[in-house]
């Protein structure tokens, strides 16, 4: 069960994810969360370093799609249009449907799609339920939806459990 909450890799922020590593790992499409991953929560401002990262992604031949739980179509559309990428809003992550819609928009398959987000209980769990490559990033800032704040507390407990209660790795005989 705990494996569903473990990301494939972690990064301090979206713009610090290595596009070269994504390419080496065979990633052709990115499903990316909006709030506190691409932009601050409830905002449409994309930082210049994020815009520059998206240019590198496109130059590498990797497609991207915003998949957000935000129910405000216009807010998600503003960011997606600015970056010239498709989007899914009102996603209800971690449900699988929105991830599948994102993959259809990207024209990718399970084996070559990555999910990038700042939450274990939505982005990482949802991506892992489909067997996708998952990347956990540190949230852009502490300001977020009240329900997300509750989930963050639960995430801290889960991270502690993963560190302290993981099954011991077998020791190989010498």
- Residue 174 pLDDT: 36
Does the structure show a pLDDT above 90 at 61?
Answer: yes
Average pLDDT of the chain to the nearest whole number: 88
Per-residue pLDDT, averaged over 105-116, amounts to: 98
Q: Which CATH architecture has domain 2-164?
A: 3-Layer(aba) Sandwich (3.40)
**pLDDT tens column, 15-60:** 999 999 999 999 999 999 999 999 998 899 999 999 999 999 999 9
| HEC letters along the chain | CHHHHCCCEEECCHHHCCHHHHHHCCCCEEEECCECCCECCCCCCCCHHHHHHHHHHHHCCCEEEEECCCCCHHHHHHHHHHHCCCEECCCCCCCHHHHHHHHHHHCCCHHHEEEEECCHHHHHHHHHHCCCEEEEECCCCCCCCHHHHHHHHHHHHHHHHHHHCCCCCCCCCC
- Is the pLDDT at 135 greater than 70? The verdict is yes
Higher pLDDT, 149 or 65: 65
Going from N- to C-terminal start, the domains of the chain cover: 2-164
For residue 141, the model assigns a pLDDT of: 81
Does the pTM exceed 0.75? yes
State the pLDDT confidence band at 147, using cuts at 50, 70 and 90. low
Q: How confident is the model at residue 42, as a pLDDT?
A: 86
């Amino acid at each position: 069960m705990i494996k569903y909450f473990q990301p494939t890799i972690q990064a301090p922020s979206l713009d610090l994810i290595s596009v070269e590593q994504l390419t080496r790992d065979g990633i052709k499409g990115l499903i990316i969360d909006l709030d506190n991953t691409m932009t601050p929560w409830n905002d449409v401002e994309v930082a210049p370093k994020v815009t520059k990262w998206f240019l590198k992604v496109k130059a590498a031949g990797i497609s991207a799609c915003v998949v957000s739980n935000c129910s405000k179509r216009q807010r998600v559309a503003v960011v997606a249009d600015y970056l010239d990428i498709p989007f899914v809003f009102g996603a209800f992550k971690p449900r699988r449907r929105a991830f599948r819609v994102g993959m259809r928009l990207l024209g990718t398959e399970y084996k070559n799609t990555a999910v990038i987000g700042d939450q274990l209980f939505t982005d990482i769990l949802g991506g892992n339920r489909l067997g996708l490559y998952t990347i956990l990033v540190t949230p852009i800032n502490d300001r977020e939806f009240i329900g997300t704040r509750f989930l963050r507390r639960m995430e801290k407990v889960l991270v502690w459990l993963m560190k302290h209660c993981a099954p011991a790795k077998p020791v190989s005989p010498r």
